Amino acid sequence: MTVERDVMEYDVLVVGAGPAGLAAACRLKQKASEAGKEISVCVVEKGSEIGAHILSGAVFEPRALNELFPNWKELGAPLNTPVTRDDVYLFRSETAATKLPNAFVPKTMHNEGNYIISLGNLCRWLGQQAEGLGVEIYPGFAAQEILIDEHNVVRGVQIGDMGVGHDGKPKEGFYTPGIELRAKYTLFAEGCRGHLGKRLLARYNLAKDADPQHYAIGLKEIWDIDPAKHQPGLVVHGAGWPLDDANPGGSFLYHAENNQVFVGLIVDLSYTNPYLSPFDEFQRFKTHSICKQYLEGGKRVSYGARAICKGGYNSLPKMVFPGGALIGCDLGTMNFSKIKGNHTAMKSGMLAAEAAAEALFNGSEGGDELNAYVETFKASWLYDELYRSRNFGPAIHKYGTFFGGAFNYLDQNWFGGKIPLTLHDRIPDHTTLKLAADAKKIEYPKADSKFSFDKLSSVFISSTNHEEDQPVHLKLTDPSIPIAKNLPMYSEPAQRYCPAGVYEVIGDAEKKFQINAQNCVHCKTCDIKDPAQNITWIAPEGSGGPNYSNM
Amino acid sequence: MKALVSVKRVVDYNVRIQVKPDGSGVVTDGVKFSMNPFDEIAMEEAVRLKEKGKITEIIAVTIGGAKCEETLRTALAFGADRAVHVKEEGDIQPLTAAKALAAVFKKEGANLFLLGKQAIDDDANQTGQMVAALLDLPQATFASKVELEAAKVTVTREVDAGLETLELDLPAIVTTDLRLNEPRYLKLPDIMKAKKKPLEAISFESLGVTAAAGLKTAKVSAPPKRSKGVMVKTVDELVSALKAKGLV
């Protein structure tokens, strides 16, 4: 079937309205106005509005924002809670924890000058700034295909069709073909494991000289707490229980504004026990007395989850390809030693934008590689920062929380990240699972509905919604693998690593793998962790997915 | 033939509503807003009537603060020809809204006023009826079918006993129910075009309307939590449990 598609053309197209994409869009318009020239910029976003799919801790380092909008305070950027205190705990068990003396905390974990923010709200604000500068932003439209011409040049994206039924057939009276958005340069800013970014990495072999990307899943809840227990600006980080060296990760608890607390657990997707459930580890974590002291008497108001790229420097792929570039977490710019990726994402977007603007000013018709972006990236503080923290993640994976942490303390506090060796972690996260037969089953405590909750009531407060009658957006390359291989080998871990209850194995005698795609919170963990790499996440109909508020 | 369609900006239907801890209202900061779904249906109906050649011009109107412009742009992307923004910050009560909408209807000299039967935020279900009373015009509420002829509109309503069909002389007020139609997907090029369509901002003052606060919100509270269920093993156990609660 051939479909007539409308075509819109721009100078620069940005895929994804997160911190990287919006910073890039703003920078392009700023450069154009400084030069007294026109650059047309379009941003497409699959969420129903800007911020709907944004989830981050977040302790925000304002360095990139200071560069982008030096007057962000006057412009009303929602950075309202300066960090007042950093507490770091080593959780020893479900009851015990030791507070790390300040002197032993790696420097990168200090947060003076940073702010506790909702990244979703910062993106909403960045969106307003971008629109004020003349950027066209279209939320509710998902980029579904990359337009690549006969010369292997990226020319833009095609928006997903709307009004397609579960059977893949157009629905009478509703079928709306997605348009083609073409641009001289296309910047991909989909966040961690973007479905188009993944294809670009493969098509242009961009990661051939890099270590494999490493990932984690971050789970987060927002709580309204008793004002008497609220200490705005308090940052609490933790390592250890409920995780361990074979299944590492870390926790956070931030006292934000309006008597709210952001609490979360980050579980490295290099975990080895197939019985591990990141969701249940998070629920259990909140029952620790360190959390309870703040959450007691409070009310959970929101829940969400998102995968994180944490490979950093060693995993950085080639950043450019003919006609475009990867920015933000589509590239993998998070600084794991700071557990921060928002300022680095913004900076990468700004650098790519500057390179694209310069090229356009020089009369470029696009389609080439933005090598200036690669050069300015290497000369920037962003690169320096990633270089200095290159050992942080591998040290913990190689030596465990305690000795890895000691290495990081030395490397960061004594060598400023310039210890003369580079640790590598070349084992892809999807290959780390032990066989179920060799692993210890984990019995998780039942949800107490006070501090811990079940998956379905959690997904409910993520305000997730998908049009019901549409094709399943989680594609199995080989539909037989979940039951024939993953179930006997790993007790099908998808049932547990998915934080939204999308995957179920049902039936007593005859087992069946069921995909509840409408629950999907777009975290991408399944695409990353499936041991057979058999699940491909693609964008569902535009505006589907979570509707996060203040995340 | 001119149609006026009023559209209200409300908290999106996908958002799980949170009551403010002090009980003064619901949380709206950082929350997604969109067009009241019943107004979307009114908008869709107006566009369909225009596509059939029964209407020549569609005017969308809303009342509220600066952010309501987004809702009007959505209406313009649906197919409204132009928009009127009664720009007023703060809470607007149904009677005030009805007075302002009636004034706009008169000012525009429209023949048909289409609006949702209620807004999903306050569920007041009053505005359409009050506009009809204020203008002393015929009204048909909860429309599930609308047919427009030269000087009259025929409206089918779903009532308890079946279907009721009303014939109204124009000008008239019609409020739309869920089953009237299913709104279309907005097309990206239409959203782009909507940015350039005319949008006029006016005030209560220019309409000769004063905001009245006839209603005072005493308290907003969340529904009581459902208590945990009890699993019973046998029918006898079920019967005795029901008896114990005095339900059988």
Burial label for A225, CB within 10 Å (0-12, 13-18, 19+), is buried
DSSP bridge partners of A234? A85
Contact list, A40 vs chain B (CB under 8 Å)? none
Closest CB to B30: pick one of A162, A460, A549: A549
CA distance B16 to chain A (A): 6
Mean pLDDT of A374-392: 94
The count of structural domains within chain A is 3
- CATH number of the domain at A481, please: 3.30.70.20
Mean pLDDT of A145-151: 97
Domain that holds residue A169: 9-70+120-212+313-388
Mean pLDDT of A155-160: 98
pLDDT (tens digit per residue) in A35-83? 999 999 999 999 999 999 999 999 999 999 999 999 999 999 999 999 9
Domain that holds residue B113: 2-244
Instruction: For residues A201 and A250, state if they share a domain.
Output: no
Three-class secondary structure assignment of chain B: CEEEEECCEEECCCCCCCECCCCCCECCCCCCEEECHHHHHHHHHHHHHHHCCCCCEEEEEEEECCCHHHHHHHHHHHCCCEEEEEECCCCCCHHHHHHHHHHHHHHHCCCEEEEECCCCCCCCCCHHHHHHHHHCCCEEEEEEEEEECCCEEEEEEEECCEEEEEEEECCEEEEECHHHCCCCCCCHHHHHHHCCCCEEEECHHHHCCCCCCCCCCCCCCCCCCCCCCCCCCCHHHHHHHHHHCCCC
Task: Tell me if A402 is assigned to some domain.
Answer: no
Task: Tell me if A3 is assigned to some domain.
Answer: no
| Closest among A381, A548, A532, A356 to A465, alpha carbons compared | A548
Q: How much of chain A, in percent, has pLDDT values that exceed 70?
A: 100
DSSP bridge partners of B200? B84
CA distance A460 to chain B (A): 8
The pLDDT-based confidence of A268 (bands split at 50, 70, 90) is very high
Closest CB to B14: pick one of A162, A547, A550: A547
Instruction: For residues A439 and A480, state if they share a domain.
Output: yes
Instruction: For residues A467 and A502, state if they share a domain.
Output: yes
ipTM over 0.90: no
Mean pLDDT of A430-442: 96
- CATH number of the domain at B178, please: 3.40.50.620
pLDDT (tens digit per residue) in A70-111? 999 999 999 999 999 999 999 999 889 999 888 788 888 889
Instruction: For residues A347 and A297, state if they share a domain.
Output: no
Task: Tell me if A393 is assigned to some domain.
Answer: no
pLDDT number for residue A1: 57
Please answer yes or no on whether A176 and B30 come within 8 Å at the CB atom: no
The pLDDT-based confidence of A408 (bands split at 50, 70, 90) is confident
Instruction: For residues A159 and A277, state if they share a domain.
Output: no
Instruction: For residues A235 and A337, state if they share a domain.
Output: no
The count of structural domains within chain B is 1
Three-class secondary structure assignment of A434-452: CCHHHCCCCCCCCCCCCCC
Last residue of a domain, one of A245, A280, A311: A311
Q: How far apart are CA A350 and CA A354, in angstroms?
A: 6
Contacts of A375 (CB under 8 A, 6+ apart): none
Burial label for A483, CB within 10 Å (0-12, 13-18, 19+), is middle
Instruction: For residues A200 and A134, state if they share a domain.
Output: yes
Task: Tell me if A398 is assigned to some domain.
Answer: no
Can the peptide bond before residue A499 be classed as cis, meaning omega within 30 degrees of 0? no
Please answer yes or no on whether A48 and B32 come within 8 Å at the CB atom: yes
Instruction: For residues A109 and A230, state if they share a domain.
Output: yes
Q: Is the pLDDT of residue A420 over 80?
A: no
Task: Tell me if A178 is assigned to some domain.
Answer: yes
List residues in chain A touching B: CB distance below 8 A: 6, 8, 48-49, 51-52, 118, 120-121, 124, 136, 138, 140-141, 159, 162-163, 173-174, 176, 179, 224, 258-259, 301, 460-461, 463-465, 547, 549-550
Of A407 and A194, which is predicted with more confidence?
A: A194
Q: Which of A547, A548, A550 to mutate to test the interface with B (most CBs of B within 10 A)?
A: A547
Q: What is the mean pLDDT of chain A?
A: 95
Q: Is the pLDDT of residue A10 over 70?
A: yes
Q: How many CB atoms lie within 10 A of CB A246?
A: 15
Instruction: For residues A178 and A54, state if they share a domain.
Output: yes
Instruction: For residues A208 and A242, state if they share a domain.
Output: no
Closest CB to A463: pick one of B15, B30, B186: B15
Task: Tell me if A189 is assigned to some domain.
Answer: yes
Buried b (16+ CB within 10 A) or exposed e, A308-345: bbbbbbbbbbbbbbbbbbbbbbbbbbbbbbbbbbbbbb
Closest CB to B32: pick one of A49, A121, A464: A49
Contacts A–B by Cβ distance under 8 A = 59
pLDDT (tens digit per residue) in A517-547? 999 999 999 999 999 999 999 999 999 999 9
Last residue of a domain, one of A388, A423, A454: A388
Contacts of B217 (CB under 8 A, 6+ apart): B24, B25
CA distance B59 to chain A (A): 24
Q: Which residues of chain B have pLDDT under 70?
A: none
pLDDT number for residue B70: 95
Please answer yes or no on whether A8 and B182 come within 8 Å at the CB atom: no
Reported pTM: 0.93
Instruction: For residues A203 and A238, state if they share a domain.
Output: no
Q: How far apart are CA A517 and CA A541, in angstroms?
A: 12
The pLDDT-based confidence of A7 (bands split at 50, 70, 90) is very high
CA distance B173 to chain A (A): 27
CA distance B1 to chain A (A): 26
- At how many degrees (to 10) do helices A371-378 and A381-388 cross? 60
Plot region of A181 (φ>0 → left; ψ -120 to 50 → alpha; else → beta): beta
pLDDT number for residue A471: 96
Q: What is the DSSP letter of A48?
A: S
Three-class secondary structure assignment of A393-431: HHHHHHHHHHHHHHHHHHHHHCCCCCCCCCCCCCCCHHH
Closest CB to B30: pick one of A141, A224, A550: A550
Q: How far apart are CA B33 and CA A157, in angstroms?
A: 28
Mean pLDDT of A260-287: 97
pLDDT number for residue B213: 81
CA distance B15 to chain A (A): 5
Mean pLDDT of A445-459: 95
Instruction: For residues A54 and A152, state if they share a domain.
Output: yes
- CATH number of the domain at A304, please: 3.30.9.90
pLDDT number for residue A398: 77
Task: Tell me if A405 is assigned to some domain.
Answer: no
